[in-house]
């Protein structure tokens, strides 16, 4: 339906939740920032007044001690002001890939059209960033009085996971912050928070260091007295320095500032939701509010379990797939059903007494209820859900460029392999890494280096046939409990550790020959380890025979050499079993 510029015309039950006017917010932000310095000035005035009172009395040792204490407090207060001048957050925002109108004309035109419908100036920069996030910034000048360059940060997971209509709701919400001038004072509020956080943190750190030094001095004094045969000094209560009490004062002021500014932030979120509802409709906006946290959880799972699957082995997915592989996860039927179920789960209710006064956003359940209370916009969701990636030109190239812009030098130096090869190559490296202690023991015993694989396993079984198991096991790393054992218990610990290392070496050899498979699985755990049923059934007994007294290696040799025509790779063997 036609939409005019978002603004005071919003109506309905949620309209009363609009944020305070820009003038009131500016006065609040500037007042709190000035209050930081006025508080320091008030402390200095209080100290000066105390000195005047002391000067009017009789000059005694107490007077001198009072003046010295005042000087210490004044120095700490001045240092607090200096700490507060520490530069705050950079204006550049999170790292990402800036898109030009020439590179992505459709996305830019879409954002400009939405900004026109909202009734606000469009951003001067659109930056794609990792994650399922969206935010806006404005480099306003003169404490927010003069508008500045606007930046829109859009998470790649939102582009890959949101339908086009829900992305419009997200963009409408962020543009709503522009329309209500929420971003004008962003740097003022951020500067206030950074000053307070840095000041309080440093004061607490100094106070803790002073207390630690006092405890260490007391312990050293007690040790000296005991060495001289004298009783230790009497324990006394901890002395608190000026930093401790200043930390209490500025902590209280920081809490007050957070309460006031975050209360305004929560009202701004309701107001921005109204703008999103005018752009995409209340139902679509509510759906986006439910889907974004689910996408955030899915993106975290993908990065940790899939994109970084081969990290320790020095491997990464193909170029453009470190972030782009998230679309493959979302395309899996099982994962898509899980994501849908997660988005439809009832949202947790937060009773009023349990709500934090320092939260920057209202509870999502409250925001959705406010949207549901709005009049029906008459829009019927379309059956064809246009993906948000339809706004992008050459998305594969964009995803590859995003990797170059955001990944570390170490990550970019990793070897890229296809998704199908990533599990078994990573598995081979994992088995080799876990078998390293055993290979090192073989090299130490024989004087010849050993590399993981079939040849090393064959050589190891030859050593076991020569009754050298105890010599090999004695060279393996031992746990603390095993190191303190002796006799039969020590031998059992050593054989158990040896069996575990032998199993890893055997699995690496089976993986190398194709007897075992490590396959990528988008529907469950990222790696599905499979092997013929006869292999999984017979391997434990073959390992037990190999570490027995005397060692019998024939079953393990036979088991690993059977592969070929009997394995599942040629389709003639029994169905593969999951390998634990």
Residue 372 lies in a domain: no
> To the nearest whole number, what is the mean pLDDT of the chain?
80
Task: Give the C-alpha separation, 520 to 190, whole Å.
Answer: 44
In a domain, 467, yes or no: yes
pTM of the model: 0.74
- The pLDDT confidence band at residue 92, using thresholds 50, 70 and 90, is low
The answer on pLDDT for 255 being more than 50 is yes
Q: Residue 540 is part of which domain span?
A: 422-578
User: How many domains in the chain?
Assistant: 1
| Identity of the highest mean pLDDT range in 146-150, 279-283, 493-497 | 279-283
In a 3-state reduction of DSSP, which class is residue 5?
Answer: coil
For residue 508, tell me if it sits in a domain: yes
The pLDDT value recorded for residue 15 is 40
Query: Does the pLDDT at position 368 exceed 80?
Result: yes
Whether pLDDT at 127 is above 70: yes
What pLDDT is recorded for position 70?
67
Phi-psi region of 508 (alpha: psi -120 to 50; beta: other; left: phi over 0): alpha
pLDDT value at position 81?
65
241 or 130: which leads in pLDDT: 130
pLDDT-based confidence at residue 578 (cuts at 50, 70, 90): low
Averaged pLDDT, 352-365: 75
Where does the pLDDT of residue 220 fall: very low under 50, low under 70, confident under 90, or very high at 90 and above?
confident
What's the pLDDT at 570?
37
Residue 568 burial (C-beta neighbours within 10 Å; 0-12, 13-18, 19+):
buried
Residue 312 lies in a domain: no
- The band of 1, judged by pLDDT with boundaries at 50, 70 and 90, is very low
pLDDT at 213: 80
The model's confidence at residue 207, banded by pLDDT at 50, 70 and 90, is confident
| pLDDT per residue as tens digits for the range 4-24 | 333 333 333 344 444 555 556
70-84, 219-233, 279-293, 297-311: least confident range: 70-84
Residue 551 lies in a domain: yes
DSSP string across 68-117:
HHHHHHHHHHHHHHHHHTS--S-TT-S--EEE-TTT-HHHHHHHHHHHHH
The answer to the question of residue 552 being in a domain is yes
Q: In this predicted model, which residue has the larger pLDDT, 388 or 553?
A: 553
Identify the band that residue 564 occupies on the pLDDT scale cut at 50, 70 and 90: very low
Q: pLDDT grade, residue 408 (50/70/90)?
A: very high
pLDDT tens across 39-83, in order? 777 777 777 776 666 666 666 655 655 566 666 666 666 666 665
Band of residue 100 on the pLDDT scale cut at 50, 70, 90? very high
Strands 97-99 and 125-129: antiparallel
249, part of any domain: no
Tell me: the pLDDT tens digits for 476-518? 888 778 777 777 787 788 888 888 888 888 888 888 888 888 8
Task: Indicate whether 80 belongs to any domain.
Answer: no
Burial label for 488, CB within 10 Å (0-12, 13-18, 19+), is exposed
Residue bearing the bigger pLDDT, 502 or 580: 502
Which structure tokens are listed for 177?
């912050």
* Lowest-confidence segment of 146-150, 167-171, 557-561 by average pLDDT: 146-150
- Position 357 scores a pLDDT of 76
Instruction: Work out the pLDDT band at 567, boundaries 50, 70, 90.
Output: very low
Nearest partner of 430 among 310, 337, 521, judged by Cα: 310
Confidence bin at 167 (pLDDT 50/70/90): very high
Give Cα 472 distance to the centre of its chain. Answer: 43
Please give the Cα distance from 282 to 463 (Å, whole number).
Answer: 73
Q: Please tell me the predicted confidence (pLDDT) of residue 9.
A: 35
């Amino acid at each position: 339906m036609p939409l005019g510029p978002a603004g005071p015309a919003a109506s309905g039950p949620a309209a009363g939740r609009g944020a305070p006017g820009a003038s009131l917010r500016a006065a609040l932000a500037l007042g709190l920032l000035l209050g930081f310095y006025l508080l320091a000035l008030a402390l200095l005035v209080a100290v000066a007044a105390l000195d005047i009172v002391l000067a009017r009395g009789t000059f005694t040792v107490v007077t001198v001690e009072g003046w010295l204490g005042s000087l210490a407090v004044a120095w700490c207060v001045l240092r607090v002001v200096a700490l507060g001048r520490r530069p705050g957050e950079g204006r550049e925002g999170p790292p990402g890939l800036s898109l030009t109108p020439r590179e992505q004309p459709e996305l830019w035109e879409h954002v400009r059209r939405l900004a026109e419908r909202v009734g606000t100036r469009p951003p001067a920069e659109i930056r794609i960033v990792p994650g399922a996030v969206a935010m806006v910034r404005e480099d306003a000048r003169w404490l927010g009085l003069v508008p500045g360059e606007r930046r829109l940060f859009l998470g790649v997971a939102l582009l890959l996971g949101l339908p086009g209509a829900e992305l419009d709701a997200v963009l409408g919400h962020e543009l709503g912050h522009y329309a209500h001038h929420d971003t004008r004072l962003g740097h003022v509020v951020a500067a206030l928070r950074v000053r307070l956080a840095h000041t309080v943190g440093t004061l607490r750190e100094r106070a803790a260091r002073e207390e630690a030094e006092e405890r260490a001095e007391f312990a050293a004094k007690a040790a000296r007295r005991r060495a001289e045969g004298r009783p230790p000094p009497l324990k006394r209560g901890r002395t608190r320095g000026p930093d401790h009490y200043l930390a209490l004062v500025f902590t209280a002021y920081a809490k007050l500032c957070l309460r006031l500014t975050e209360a305004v932030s929560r009202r701004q979120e309701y107001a921005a939701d109204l703008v999103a509802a005018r752009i995409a409709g209340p139902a679509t906006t509510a759906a986006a509010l439910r889907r974004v946290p689910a996408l955030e959880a899915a993106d975290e799972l993908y990065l940790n379990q899939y994109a970084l699957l081969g990290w320790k082995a020095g491997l990464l997915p193909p170029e453009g797939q470190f972030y782009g592989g998230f679309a493959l996860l979302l395309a899996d039927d099982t994962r898509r059903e899980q994501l849908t179920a997660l988005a439809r789960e009832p949202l947790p209710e937060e009773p009023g007494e349990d709500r934090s006064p320092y939260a920057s956003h209202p509870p999502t359940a409250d925001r959705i209820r406010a949207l549901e209370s709005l009049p029906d916009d008459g829009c019927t969701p379309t059956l064809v859900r246009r993906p948000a990636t339809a706004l992008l030109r050459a998305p594969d190239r964009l995803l590859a460029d995003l990797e170059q812009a955001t990944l570390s030098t170490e990550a970019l130096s990793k070897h890229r392999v296809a998704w199908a090869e990533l599990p078994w190559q990573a598995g081979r490296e994992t088995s080799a890494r876990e078998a390293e202690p055993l290979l090192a023991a073989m090299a130490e015993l024989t004087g010849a280096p050993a590399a993981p694989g079939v040849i090393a396993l064959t050589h190891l079984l030859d050593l076991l046939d020569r009754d050298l198991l105890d010599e090999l096991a004695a060279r393996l790393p031992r746990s603390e409990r095993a190191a303190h054992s002796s006799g039969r218990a020590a031998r059992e610990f050593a054989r158990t550790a040896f069996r575990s290392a032998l199993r890893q070496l055997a699995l690496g050899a089976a993986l190398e020959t194709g007897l075992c498979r490590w396959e990528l699985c988008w529907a469950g755990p990222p790696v599905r380890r499979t092997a013929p049923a006869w292999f999984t059934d017979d391997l434990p007994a073959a390992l037990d025979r190999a570490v027995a007294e005397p060692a019998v290696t024939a079953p393990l040799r036979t088991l690993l050499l059977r592969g070929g025509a009997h394995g599942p790779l040629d389709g003639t063997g029994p169905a593969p079993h999951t390998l634990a």
